[in-house]
Structure 1
């Protein structure tokens, strides 16, 4: 009982801190994007999106090993085995140095082919190769410090990283705005990104060294040529198998979400990429917030897995699925209705996309959000190897459909979005839950389907309702009408949830947890 209480306590701290920090960080990022748009124009906003996608594509070098490393660290931390922790940290550091070197090498080798990656229009921007190199350096340097994040994540101390990231990012964002206004320089904007990355990682490294009494000299010596002996003889086997699975998963994610801007840069203009990037910044903000919140409890799920209680594993998975679906449902209609109004207020009416792309962007965001319960269990239970072919198929479906619609039907942005939609529906959103249920959920497929079907119907109703409102033109760009409609819709949605799920065990559990936490806060 004490373990479960501690696990819940750590999860709540991680969720609360991560959520609050990310909301403020996201708001500041949008403010910086607004200044970037107003000072340098939509072309540079598009360039920012394209370069981010290109660099993300190169980051396949990390092979998805971060979740594998966190998985390997659970048991030594639970047993407080300092020797094994030191050996694992040395291994992580050794691997990440190799990864960082490969990443930077691949990125530099790609410079002569930059035109084919970012499009001819982007190549006309002054100092484009220097800007590209700064973006490359921003991601590449983070690998050389990544090992210290692993131990904090595995020990359910994600909130430590969140706080450090928040403070440094806020300071750097203010400097970016100042330099944009004074110098009007995108190079300085990119250079400050590099400085931010270095500062965050150095501070995280110092905190991790102090908290876990890690000797930097000892780690460096062990990360060199010293042979590492692990108590778990299958450590390298787990690392290799799950790294291959992680590579597959990483490849699929890169092709599906990283290729959109690259395809648009070659088939459309940087202005279209910039307009699309504004919408994606919002959906990625929502997705990343939920991802960071869920990541902060992954260690708790991994700790749960060590108990080898399959009935409890299934119960937790169902509860987590219910909570994520509930949050997604409450976000869906407000997201669709508010999108265009918010874009107009934020970066101007000229950056508002038509209704169909907005609907498709929102649907893809929703499909990404409801994946998180399965992804959490896949990471926490080390199931990457079990789904090694899934992302290869996902990537192929996405790229083939997108190119077909772009090349033959000239659908532009709509074609790219339909490619992502097809890969999600046909491959991802059914297969990941299948893997989890098969491996740790007692293969209770019918029961799981009965749990999620009501939410699928609610999602469809929400999308159809939102499409009707948007197509009717009743809202226009009126803030008052939008706010009024969102409030009414949220009240109706909450009533629907209460009526439909009042006897659902997951709803009862959620209410009980919230009541317990609030009672503890009052007593303190």
Structure 2
């Protein structure tokens, strides 16, 4: 949460500086490049997730020998992935002038930017693979701290050098490389301190793999989910760039940058829950598993509802105050679709954490359905209606696949029930209570002066945020057992409370 707040403030300053100094076209181009690099990351195929799932049991037993072998396997896979991504990147780079033919960006700028991001991505697979042990061992705060500290330092230097020392894109990219190297070195030092017995052998990783056939099986199952994740996170900027140009990508990422930071506020701070859930599932206490599942659902829906309403209410005046007047402002309809998408992302988190905890990755067909729905709806409706159509594709596919199907899959394969009717009814209850909260929050907001200054934005936010949090929290506390037991856990600091 600390890093979230610091980076939120920094991103407001850096975004304005980058647009002013580098220009809208360059900022949009870099966002598109990062999406193309993200596309190459499909080569990872979910290997990290598969390895983490296999690590839970030996970590619980403190079996250092098995842990070392599994980490060595990931190191071997990391080398293979790095080679595949590097080769694919070189091939993709041949088409950069064609992909950006309609943009007024020099060819050397395209290649310099692309290969900078490619090198940092390849480096992460070659060097940083050991961090999987920290993540699986519920010590994700360590890589989070190191990564965000280097990210803050990089952002501050970029702001200073671009705004006050007259540097441009070359220095901006150089700092990207330096930061990636610094993170890798710092992380390696910290891992050696935490696990002095860990002596992974990448060359032996392939031989060790024969002892763990479950890893290969899970990797095959996770592949389609990795494709789905790519489509969700990377395809929209690419579709926008191809249909409407890099300038519109800049306007689009103005919104998504804020949304992603809001998501990091919760999903980032609570990301270690995945390893905790994995440990919980390994214990096999069904009653406790169910209790924690409903507590997490209540928590994430409360966070998603409160943050979602504030996003819808304040993002437009925020962008008007934050960025130059020439920046395009999206309609309320687009903002509403953004907001609903973010709320569903919050709702998906408990489903995702328990699916991973149970090691349920065999629903590979769902990943391809997700891909098809997202791409078809985004392209077809995007051509007809613009940005709102593209974002709508993500919303529809997320609801059908990541919410409805994922919950059914978890209930039938993980919880051992016949259907997910209980979850569907609970989700309907959460959304109904959120609609009531939304109406009350809109009424409170109508009583406040319109936002025309930063001071008024802060004042209105200081009133709306706690009001909506109390209203939605109160409704959930009254109507939902998960919220009631969650409050008891927070107050008592244990899990002895009853449903």
| TM norm. shorter chain > 0.5 | yes
What corresponds to 2:21 in structure 1?
39
Distance in 1 between residues matched to 2:18 and 2:68, nearest whole Å: 44
Q: Which residue of 2 aligns with 1:421?
A: 395
Indicate the residue corresponding to 1:15 in structure 2.
none
Match of 1:273 among 241, 249, 268: 249
Decide whether the 8 Å contact of 1:97 with 1:144 is kept in 2: yes
* Equivalence for 1:248: 224
Evaluate the alpha carbon distance shift between residue 42 and residue 245 of structure 1 in structure 2; reply closer, same or farther with a 3 A threshold. same
Counterparts of 1:376 and 1:60 in 2: how far apart (Å)?
21
Distance in 2, Cα, partners of 1:95 & 1:129: 27
**Matched position secondary structure for 2:171:** helix
**Is 1:366 matched with 2:348?**
no
Shift of 1:109: 0.9
CA-based RMSD of the aligned residues comes to 2.7
The structure-2 alpha-carbon separation of the partners of 1:37 and 1:492, relative to structure 1 and needing over 3 Å to count, comes to: closer
Q: Which residue in 2 is equivalent to 1:326?
A: 302
Match in the other structure for 2:115 = 133
- Contact residue 73 and residue 209 of structure 2 kept, 8 A: no
Runs (5+) with no aligned partner, structure 1: 1-18, 519-524
Given the alignment of the two structures, is residue 186 of structure 1 paired with residue 169 of structure 2, yes or no? yes
Report the counterpart of residue 142 of structure 2 in structure 1.
160
- The alpha-carbon distance between structure 1 residues 33 and 483, as it changes in their structure 2 partners (threshold 3 A), is closer
Q: d(CA) in 1 for partners of 2:32 and 2:138?
A: 34
> Residue 57 of structure 2 aligns to a residue in which SS?
helix
d(CA) in 2 for partners of 1:509, 1:70: 29
1:148 touches 1:208 (CA, 8 Å); kept in 2?
yes
Alpha-carbon distance, 1:402 to partner: 1.6
Kept in 2, the 8 Å contact 1:311–1:442? The answer is: no
- Does 2:435 match 1:453? no
Aligned partners of 2:477 and 2:58: how far apart in 1? 40
8 A Cα contact 1:158 1:296, kept in partner: yes
Distance 2:24 2:218 in 1: 41
Q: Structure 1, residues 161-211: CA drift from partner, whole Å, max 9, x if none?
A: 122123222222222112212243112212211221221122212221232
Partner of 2:450: 475
Deviates more, 1:494-503 or 1:276-285: 494-503
3-state SS of paired residue (1:502): helix
Superposed, 1:41-56 pairs within 5 Å as 41-56=23-38
Which residue of structure 2 lines up, in the alignment, with residue 315 of structure 1?
A: 291
Cα distance, 1:463–1:403 mapped onto 2, change above 3 Å: farther
Instruction: Tell me how far apart the structure 2 counterparts of residues 119 and 434 of structure 1 sit (CA, whole Å).
Output: 45
* 8 Å CA contact retained: 1:318, 1:448: no
* Pair 1:509–1:468, CA change in 2 (3 A): closer
Deviations 1:477-500 (A, max 9, x none): 455555555414642551353245
Residue 281 of structure 1, CA deviation: 0.4
- Offset, 1:470: 10
Q: Note the alpha carbon deviations across 1:317-348, whole angstroms, 9 max, x for none.
A: 11111110011111121111110121122223
Aligned to 1:196: 179
**Which residue in the other structure is 1:288 paired with?**
264
Q: TM-score, normalised by structure 1?
A: 0.86
Question: Where does 1:231-242 land on structure 2 (aligned, <5 Å)?
Answer: 235-236=212-213, 238-242=214-218
TM-score (normalised: structure 2): 0.90
Q: Which 10-residue stretch deviates more, 271-280 or 437-446?
A: 437-446
CA, structure 1 residues 454+349, in 2 after alignment: closer, same or farther (shift >3 Å)? farther
Shift of residue 245, structure 1, vs aligned partner: 2.4
Distance between the aligned counterparts of 1:162 and 1:337, measured in 2?
A: 30
